[in-house]
Structure 1
Amino acid sequence: MSDCVEFSAPEPVFAEPWHAQVFALTVHLNETGRFAWPDWAERFSATLKRHGLSRELDGGDDYFHAWLETLEAVLDEDGGASRGEVAPIKDAWEEAYLTTPHGAPVSLDG
């Protein structure tokens, strides 16, 4: 007679795919030398504090919106992607996902 051990699937690390994507992009940019991780951590901490998000976070949208805001600021300052370049693309994606039927893939035309 053998003991049966039940395993459950691990909880996902990220609540939304875009959380994982912005995290992975940030790690990649750090690994390619775009910025040092201690500088990133200091800047991200300042963003969280500015938004009053210094309480314990669960890794949800508020956390990753702050993460994205910090990344956009870093890229704007180092010339990697200026806010002027990013804003129209963000607006186009917002329009695309708001007008795409539920369940259909979202894409930008053009």
Structure 2
Amino acid sequence: MSPNLESVRSALQTVPGIPCEGEAPIFAEPWQAQAFAMALELQQRGVFSWSEWAAELGAQIKAAIADGDPDDGTTYYRHWLATLERLVSRKGIASTETLDRYYRAWDHAADRTPHGQTIELVAEDFR
């Protein structure tokens, strides 16, 4: 998945709070870049508009703040991921149950993978 530059610029102009260095988004961890790229790809495919994304992300952040999130920027991409999951479920791309199943599988795979190694899903992770 390699988002085009125009899509990145559009996201940066429309979606508030994306951590940036100059005109490029920055990520503390690889999963953050992957979540960003998935959202760009889905937006490019017409699954949602950036305005819809920004409204949903804003609602997610407000709810998190109400629940005690420190709103210091460290959890921004956790909100991004939660927004991605919510929209994917709402749009019928994957059910909440499917997302939960994969979450548990990735968690299991991470637990069995030695530090520094690539995490790979295998059938046993879904049991």
Partner of 1:102: 115
Q: 1:37: Cα distance to partner? A: 0.5
Deviations 1:38-75 (A, max 9, x none): 01101100100100058452xx3x11111111111111
Residue 36 of structure 1: how far off its partner (Å): 0.8
Of Structure 1 and Structure 2, the greater helix share is in: 2
Is structure 2 residue 45 aligned with structure 1 residue 28?
no
Q: Which amino acid aligns with 1:13?
A: I
For the aligned residue pairs, the C-alpha RMSD in angstroms reads 1.9
C-alpha distance in 1, partners of 2:108/2:96? Answer: 18
1:13 is the counterpart of 2:17: no
State how far apart, in whole Å, the 1-side matches of 2:93 and 2:107 are: 22
- The residue that corresponds to 1:90 in the other structure is 103
TM-score by length of 2: 0.70
Q: Which has the larger radius of gyration?
A: 1
TM superposition outliers: structure 1 runs of 4+ over 3 Å: 53-56
Give the number of aligned pairs: 97
Q: Which runs of 5+ in 2 are unaligned?
A: 1-21
Query: What 5-or-longer segments of structure 1 have no aligned partner?
Result: 1-9
Counterparts of 1:43-82 in structure 2, within 5 Å, are 43-52=56-65, 53=69, 55-57=71-73, 60=74, 62-82=75-95
